[in-house]
A and B are shown apart, each in its own frame.
Chain A
């Protein structure tokens, strides 16, 4: 019989603190030269302002992620906002019905560049278990999605993993991407100018 174990582990402090790696660059006495992309990426990825667009069960999984047990705030995403004009990351959590799709599109349009989209859960990624006439089979039919988190609902660790992948994407993104032709073509394919 295995011993009873709970999700509470007392760790010594040294293991809790991790330091980000420095971007590559040239440094010397009193100066550090690197590319602007990496510095801005580092700053952006550790201070995301997410917009939780919680529609159904995945929203409750997100509430558990935001709670003290699986803390989202330690990734810098402390301030969740509900105004799209002020947020970077649109986290769509839950089933999007066809009645709700225009609302998602409008919220996405109201966000300012640079913006990222995280589709949490099976319903947001591909319609999930609801293959019916009223459910949109995945939000990538209407908005471009950066990271998909599968699960029904995903465990909080999986949602955190999704956020970390977004952080990787943000850290490596080039500053010119949002003005490039490829990006404009991507948005054109969704009907967004």
Chain B
């Protein structure tokens, strides 16, 4: 068993401009909306090429994003035609650079290719995303519900469903300041606040 002294990883040549340039060279119009927020470059890709982008980011010599940190989904009910976004976070461990990309899909037909072939870590993360949002990952070895009971017939984390179990009788919603006449004030959605994700 070896002990390594903690090293400082210096952020080197891998800058956002380089990543953006390489991606636009390879994929052209299919990647877009590059912006940098809080130190992480984030862009959107068409949903047909999500595996190609993942593969390119992880196998390219200069980019080297070999670690898939996170895979989750976000529901934007206002973006008609693109309600569900699947978000991938990649990380280049050696140079400490992160990148985030999103693929958008229609809620009526939420099919996205599975990343399980490239990263085994995507297996349960995609099952969780399916369980909460209903994103159908095409080619997934075992796409079943993971967190909720198997008999559940709706996808609970979509914005239209309430948080509380509506059949409980021991808690008075009015007293807790929810529902009915006193909502919490965050029922508004992303109308006009994040323009990068509107077509």
Q: Taking the complex as formed, is B163 at the interface, i.e. its CB lies under 8 A from any CB of chain A?
A: yes
- With A99-B148, A99-B149 already in contact, the answer to whether A133 and B170 are too (CB < 8 A) is no
- With A98-B149, A99-B149 already in contact, the answer to whether A133 and B171 are too (CB < 8 A) is no
Cβ–Cβ contact A133 & B164, under 8 A: yes
Cβ–Cβ contact B165 & A137, under 8 A: yes
Cβ–Cβ contact B168 & A137, under 8 A: yes
Interface extent on B, as a size class?
A: 10 to 19
Residues of chain A in range 122-137 having any CB-CB distance to chain B below 8 Å: 126-127, 131-135, 137
Cβ–Cβ contact B170 & A131, under 8 A: no
Q: Which residue of A lies closest to B173 (CB)?
A: A131
Q: Which residue of B lies closest to A100 (CB)?
A: B149
Q: Taking the complex as formed, is B55 at the interface, i.e. its CB lies under 8 A from any CB of chain A?
A: no
- With A98-B149, A99-B148, A99-B149 already in contact, the answer to whether A132 and B163 are too (CB < 8 A) is yes
Cβ–Cβ contact A133 & B163, under 8 A: yes
Cα distance, A14 to B162, chains bound together (Å)? 59
Cβ–Cβ contact B163 & A131, under 8 A: yes
Tell me the minimal C-beta distance from A192 to chain B in angstroms: 21
Residues of chain A in range 105-148 having any CB-CB distance to chain B below 8 Å: 126-127, 131-135, 137-138
Cβ–Cβ contact B148 & A131, under 8 A: no
Cβ–Cβ contact A138 & B170, under 8 A: yes
Q: What 0/1 readout, one digit per residue, does chain B (125-162) give for beta carbons within 8 Å of chain A?
A: 00000000000000000000001110000001000011
Q: What 0/1 readout, one digit per residue, does chain B (164-184) give for beta carbons within 8 Å of chain A?
A: 110010110000100000000
Cα distance, A138 to B170, chains bound together (Å)? 10
Tell me the minimal C-beta distance from B61 to chain A in angstroms: 45
Q: Which residue of A lies closest to B161 (CB)?
A: A133
Cα distance, A99 to B148, chains bound together (Å)? 7
Return the contact of A134 from the options B148, B168, B176 (Cβ within 8 A).
Answer: B148
Cβ–Cβ contact B170 & A132, under 8 A: no
Contacts of B162 in A (CB 8 A): 133
Q: Which residue of B lies closest to A132 (CB)?
A: B163
Cα distance, A115 to B176, chains bound together (Å)? 36
Q: A131-B163, A132-B164, A138-B170 are in contact. List 9 more A-B contacts (CB 8 A).
A: A99-B148, A131-B171, A132-B163, A132-B165, A133-B163, A134-B148, A137-B165, A137-B168, A137-B170
- Cβ-closest 9 pairs across A and B: A133-B165, A99-B149, A137-B168, A131-B164, A132-B163, A133-B156, A98-B149, A134-B148, A137-B170
